[in-house]
Amino acid sequence: MLSYENVRHAFGERVVLDGCTFSVRAGECVALLGQSGAGKTTLFRLAYGAFDPDEGTVRVGGVDLRGVHGAALRQVRARIGVVFQAHELIDELSVEANVLAGTFGRRTTLGAIRSVLRPSALERRLAHDALARVGLGDRVRERAYHLSGGQRQRIAVARAIAARAELVLADEPAASLDPSLAREIVDLLTADARERGAALVCTLHQPELARSFDRVITLEAGRIVRDAVAGAA
């Protein structure tokens, strides 16, 4: 579903990714560990087609992303669900509207407005199902700013669940949460991916959270230093 082959990239003089090769199959949950600045977010941005790497190949669903733009790139992106950070929620909107805007309309501003103002019955059902799944089924009408930090992060997860994407990219979904909430968020993501047979890649700072994944990849200064079955010594 996602593969990196000998990917190298530098921003100016700074080499950020240095020969990264790994792939993630459909139905596989991969934790990506690494210290701040290791290159984790850059790998995600490449998967989303934000830019081409200096060298190497990035594929999503078998599509080589190099030089892919416009409608073709939008088609690739439609297969990817991104778990946004809770701080990207719009406080003044309801919980439901945040899921609708972040899930169905995220590719264009106009699409976001339409999804919030006039969601289709299907969009609304998917949003409600996802919110029920993360335990917020009774909070759909409340404004996002009424919710706690952990609940807000669950809204961010609901956005990705509602999208029912084949590939889910979660960039530090458990950052700044206490350990039990962090575990809850990670478990919600892995359970959803496993049920649907989706591929999940989740960046984490805390190695102890990686246990519920199938594989753990560790990145250090742009290089993969470990790629192992979760739980392996």
Ligand X SMILES: Nc1ncnc2c1ncn2[C@@H]1O[C@H](COP(=O)(O)OP(=O)(O)OP(=O)(O)O)[C@@H](O)[C@H]1O
Binding span for ligand X by CB under 6 A among 36-44, 81-89, 102-110, 139-147: 36-44
Given a contact cutoff of 8 angstroms between Cβ atoms, the answer to whether 216 and 30 are in contact is yes
Q: Give the CA radius of gyration of the chain.
A: 17
For 16, the token pair is 């950020």
Given a contact cutoff of 8 angstroms between Cβ atoms, the answer to whether 202 and 186 are in contact is yes
Per-residue binding string, ligand X, 40-69, x by CB under 6 A, is xxx---------------------------
Binding span for ligand X by CB under 6 A among 32-40, 56-64, 151-159, 225-233: 32-40
Question: Which H or E element spans position 161?
Answer: helix 149-163
As measured in angstroms, the least distance from the Cβ of 49 to ligand X is 15
Binding span for ligand X by CB under 6 A among 30-38, 60-68, 99-107, 129-137: 30-38
As measured in angstroms, the least distance from the Cβ of 197 to ligand X is 27
DSSP states along 114-138: HHHHS--HHHHHHHHHHHHHTT-TT
Half-sphere exposure of 142 (CA within 13 A, CB side): 13
**Residue of 33, 38, 73, 199 that binds ligand X (CB under 6 A):** 38
State which residue, 131 or 174, has the beta carbon closest to ligand X. Answer: 174
Number of chain positions touching ligand X (CB under 6 A): 10
**Residue of 34, 49, 105, 119 that binds ligand X (CB under 6 A):** 34
Given a contact cutoff of 8 angstroms between Cβ atoms, the answer to whether 29 and 193 are in contact is yes
What does the alpha-carbon distance between residue 90 and residue 127 come to, in Å, rounded to a whole number?
A: 16
**Residue of 36, 71, 118, 232 that binds ligand X (CB under 6 A):** 36
Q: Name which of 140, 70, 143, 144 is nearest 107 in CA terms.
A: 70
State which residue, 188 or 219, has the beta carbon closest to ligand X. Answer: 219
9 to 28, contacts with ligand X by CB under 6 A?
11, 16
State which residue, 36 or 180, has the beta carbon closest to ligand X. Answer: 36
Residue 206 makes contact with ligand X by CB under 6 A: no
What does the alpha-carbon distance between residue 154 and residue 130 come to, in Å, rounded to a whole number?
A: 10
Binding residues (CB under 6 A) for ligand X: these are 11, 16, 34, 36-42
